[in-house]
Structure 1
Amino acid sequence: MPPQWHEPTAVADPPPGRHLLAASTGGHLAQLAKWSKAIGSASDSLWVTFKSPQSDSLLQDRRTIYVPYVAPRDLRGAVNAFIHLIREINWGTEQFTAAVTTGAAVGLAALAAARIHRVPSFYFESVSRVNGPSLTGKLASLDPRIHTFCQYEHWAGRRWIYRSSLFDSYRTIPKHKVERPRLFVTLGTIYPYRFDALVDAILSTGLADSRTVWQLGTTTREGLPGNAVSQMGGAEFERCARIADVVITHAGVGTIMHLLDMGIFPVVVPRRAKRSEHVDDHQCQIAGLLDTRAISMVTEADDLHRSTIIAASGSAVRSMGVPATRNDTWPSVQSPRELPSERTEIS
């Protein structure tokens, strides 16, 4: 049986302790990792995500269940993930104090499984949803037993509680500008969306050379100057980002937050749905927010020029930490016994 709990008199963060933490790889997982520190997730919390270089690096030594990839708006994949989690997790032994997700279909599947087992459930909407909830968020908000948080005060309401933004903790600082910068280009790994417009725009600036590193995801190309790979591990990503004078990236939240945490002021180019570069234009929302806060150099692919990249080399970023926790309205919850670190991959 899960620990006894009572509905709080005011909406608070999840009660601290052993959490079920579920998210797709990329921005959702990066945000959940940050929120887990703010909400008091115990070190023996159980993570649910997809297997990738990012998850292997970010969740090293964490208890993890890898489920098969669930594409955006993939109902069948979400149902399969739900069934896997119902079967794979020993719900009686785990005694989760909360189930938490930052979105995507696999997160919704985890909350559905948690609700069946009477685990308090929490949905933190992505920082990329500037003007309202995602489809997954809308579905989660239909269940009044799921606590829903957003990161923008202007669209908070009865079902959505403003929690603060993960981007509140970054500030821009100046540094020496480089006239012939070394480039690191990272396009993310979301399947099956290509981003040829950005690759072409970078080539047109004349700044790509033998020093350039390209992390292309599904945007496979031949004959690019420098070194081109599809994916790379976390350590290699950080090495390439740190030795580059400028990092150029798509407007993927996970990549951007990682770069900002490293002190890097990136050039951010949003994917466009009209070019079949993503499922919708939510990257434009996040790009607009970054531009307003002046913590990235934001431009459209068609407007990326040599001068834009060189200008970006003259700035860096300082991280101020993570949002504070808000657990004042939850009764204390006794932490269950420690469980050993383990990883399970479901095929």
Structure 2
Amino acid sequence: MTTLLVANTGGHLTQLHSLLRRLPVEDRVWVTLDGPQSRSLLAGEKAVYLTYPRARNVFHVARNTALALRRLPQRGVDQVITTGASLALSVLPPYALRGIPCHYIESATRVDGPSSSGRLLSRVPGIRLYTQHETWADARWRYSGTVLDGYRATPTGSRPVRKVVVTLGSSEGYPFRRPLERLLEILPEGVEVLWQTGSTPVDGLPLTATPSMSSEALNAAIRDADVVVAHAGTGSTLTALANGKMPLLLPRLISRGEHVDDHQTQIAAMLEERGLAVVRDAGTVEWSDLEHAAAHEVSLSATTPFALRN
């Protein structure tokens, strides 16, 4: 059975990669975007790279549809599975309209309802729809679990914080300087910090920025760190949890021009309720918040398969 696994880079790709062990997938081809994360995470895998789209840009969606029709196998595909976002709009409809099973798993960030991509794809006949939140599951949107299943945080007692990883993900076009400025105010002298800054400009700030890095390098840095401070994106959060760290999450806010909406505040609140994260505002976070997050470790237990609709 050949499966196309479709996901934009960042949190969408991290979620699909995390769910892979729970999905009925044998032979597979990844469909994503080129970059340090995808090249590292998918090393040794079959992958097709499409062009980087702008958020909510119809022209870019159409361009990637044309590329997908040229570059992807049109025969021998048994199913398509995606966690979004815009690449799902480009890839799923042509396969669904030919009767090939297509599965759209909405991002875990969507706590109250589907994203714009999910709403659009829900109008395409034949696409199976999944939510990662039971609260809005219904006859159309099935709940089969979440990428957070199996994670548990336990207190370990206070310990010195000497190494910190700050990761702002890969959100293009949405700078997030507030956490950088605030952390520079509160970090004690001598603390070693890795600043993964994404597209956020750091001019005038006394730090050495690493805009992007491979999944392998980021995982290694997080394993070696005492605490992870991150924007509340699913990719950054899952990476921290998978490496045994309870993250300190600082959600991006639409009112500050830091994201397209406030879904990060929703996912952060849900993670805090599950006991898997410490959540604070980026402008008022304190050093004690880092120490509190560092005093926990995260483990992953066995999870049930993610059941797909026939």
TM-score by length of 1: 0.85
How far apart, CA to CA, are the structure 2 residues paired with 1:208 and 1:300? 23
Alignment partner of 1:80 is 2:26: no
**Could you give the per-residue CA deviations for residues 91-120 of structure 1, whole angstroms, max 9, x where no partner exists?**
12xx11111111111112110121243311
Of structures 1 and 2, the one scoring higher in RCO (CA 8 A, sep 6+) is 1
2:282 aligned residue: 301
Deviation (angstroms), 1:168: 2.2
Alignment partner of 1:57 is 2:40: yes
How far apart, CA to CA, are the structure 2 residues paired with 1:310 and 1:202? 13
- Whether contact under 8 Å (1:46, 1:65) holds in the other structure is yes
Distance 1:123 1:108, change over 3 A: same
- Whether contact under 8 Å (2:22, 2:304) holds in the other structure is yes
Q: Give 1:215's match in structure 2, choosing from 166, 181, 196.
A: 196
2:112 aligned residue: 131
- Whether contact under 8 Å (1:101, 1:108) holds in the other structure is no
1:154 aligned residue: 135
How far apart, CA to CA, are the structure 1 residues paired with 2:230 and 2:163? 14
2:21 aligned residue: 37
Larger radius of gyration: 1
Where 1:122 maps in the other structure, the secondary structure is: strand
Amino acid at match of 2:18: K
**Could you give the per-residue CA deviations for residues 53-108 of structure 1, whole angstroms, max 9, x where no partner exists?**
1111111111111011012212111111111111122312xx11111111111112
- Whether contact under 8 Å (2:161, 2:227) holds in the other structure is no
Alignment partner of 1:67 is 2:50: yes
How far apart, CA to CA, are the structure 1 residues paired with 2:30 and 2:303? 20
Deviation (angstroms), 1:178: 2.8
- Aligned identity (percent) is 33
How far apart, CA to CA, are the structure 2 residues paired with 1:244 and 1:223? 26
Deviation (angstroms), 1:208: 6.6
Q: In the comparison of the two structures, how many residue pairs are matched?
A: 310
Amino acid at match of 2:56: R
Distance 1:62 1:97, change over 3 A: same
2:29 aligned residue: 46
Q: Give 2:73's match in structure 1, choosing from 79, 86, 90.
A: 90
Alignment partner of 1:19 is 2:3: yes
- Whether contact under 8 Å (1:197, 1:301) holds in the other structure is yes
How far apart, CA to CA, are the structure 2 residues paired with 1:193 and 1:256? 18
How far apart, CA to CA, are the structure 1 residues paired with 2:16 and 2:57? 21
2:179 aligned residue: 198
How far apart, CA to CA, are the structure 2 residues paired with 1:208 and 1:282? 34
How far apart, CA to CA, are the structure 1 residues paired with 2:118 and 2:41? 24
Distance 1:52 1:321, change over 3 A: farther
Where 1:284 maps in the other structure, the secondary structure is: helix
* Aligned pairs (5 A) from 1:1-347: 17-42=1-26, 44-92=27-75, 95-207=76-188, 209=190, 211-222=192-203, 224=205, 227-326=208-307, 330=310
How far apart, CA to CA, are the structure 2 residues paired with 1:131 and 1:316? 29
